[in-house]
Amino acid sequence: MRLDRFLAETTPLSRSQAKKALAQGEVTLDGDVVKQAASQVADDARVAWRGERLMLVGLRYVMLHKPAGVECSARRGLYARAVDLIDLPKAERLHPVGRLDVDTTGLVLLSDDGQWAHRVTSPRRGCPKTYRANLGRPLAGEALANAVAAFREGILLDGETTPTRPAELKSLGPQDVRLTIHEGRYHQVRRMFAAIGNHVAALHRETVGPLTLGDLPEGGWRELTEAEVAAF
């Protein structure tokens, strides 16, 4: 790996800033000041910037309990970003693995491992995701039975040409339901209930694949275990 890239991956410096730091003699490689950006860094090399030893950050896998008012976006906008809640080095390199809209709470995965993220989100794998929804109108009796059947068979969402994959709907109360889907279309849960003449007042994602939030508090996060990463 080039030395300027190594600095960019282990410090707050950009590649151009790393080159300036090198030119100013702020960087040592195995104890010697090095100013050449193209110098190669061996796996066992000791690199220091302003006297502080630098270590490469490996791939990270994080679970976040996303609060409302936080968006899953790489760009800064009107709302706080999910990645801003993660206190890890180079946290800005983490990307949401499947998004929730700004008003939806619950389980969000973030990682800088693109291949793993693809495994989790690939439509072919059909990773199950379970949501708890509070509905704007009661859903019970015959209407509930019809909704359960429609979601199980798949419904055609507005503006789409293929029906949704079979989904499992369970009633928890007159306006409280749990829905498990196996794909991730844009605003899918909200659009599914709109398709049957209801609407979602509040939405919370409880699970992604084998992972659940457990006792993780709202706004809290933790890194996944090796077993949890391998489960996908």
Which residue among 44, 101, 103, 112 is the active-site one? 101
The secondary structure of 37-88 as a DSSP string is TT-B--TT--EEETTEEE------EEEEEEPTTEE--SS--SSEEGGGG--S
CA distance 140 to 142: 6
CA distance 67 to 27: 41
Decide: helix, strand or coil at residue 133.
Answer: strand
Cα dihedral value 120, 124, 127, 133, nearest 10: 120
Annotation marks residue 103 as catalytic: no
**Hey, which residues are catalytic here?**
101
